[in-house]
Amino acid sequence: MPVERGPGDLGGGGAGLLLASARTLNPLSATLLVIYPLFDVACAVVDLRSATAQRGPVRGLYLNIALSALTTAGLAAAATAGIPGVLRVWGAWAVTAGLVQLAVGIHRRAMPGRWPMIASGAISTLAGASFVVQAAKADASLSSLGGYAFLGGVFFLVSALRLGRAEKITGRLGSARGGHPFGG
């Protein structure tokens, strides 16, 4: 989603490769699809360490790690069944991770840099539902996943830049107040 990211946050590189093979599920696209949620797990683990160090809420991060790990297994199985199966698993992941990301973003909305996360969670939820619907169509393809991955990457980049800037400001304020980032 998580939760700073959700499915789709890999960015343009994965998007381009998925678009290149959008009508077929070949070994390259299947591998990318299975690796993709593992990338989300890794990012959530890094975010978990940061949130734990700042004594922030982490329940959503644990949920994101579990969802993404289950999705990895689901996509590995679905890749052998074909594009509709992949779209169903990816869609379910996007909906659930998007809802978690949205909830965490709303909970943390007072913190700087969270609005891109809220928007990304809402978009993931809607896009996930559209993937599930698309899976039922005769001409189901992976092309929509490519655009989704690109858009997710843009939101992830905007959020990361805003959070980085906020951290620098908080760090400067913290050092001016005796070193504690929250002025303690």
Maximum mean pLDDT: which of 21-30, 43-52, 138-147, 148-157: 138-147
Placement of tokens 């289950």 in the chain: 70
Please state the rounded mean pLDDT for residues 148-158.
Answer: 71
CB 4 within 8 A of CB 43: yes
Q: Would you tell me the crossing angle of helices 12-20 and 143-176 to the nearest 10 degrees?
A: 180
Burial of 52 per CB tally in 10 Å (0-12, 13-18, 19+)? exposed
For the cut 80, the answer to whether the pLDDT of residue 181 exceeds it is: no
pLDDT tens-digit series, residues 47-89: 777 776 667 667 777 888 899 999 999 999 999 999 999 999 9
Closest CA to 93 of 56, 50, 41, 151: 41
Q: What is the pLDDT at residue 166? A: 62
Is the pTM for the entire model greater than 0.85? Answer: no
CB 9 within 8 A of CB 116: no
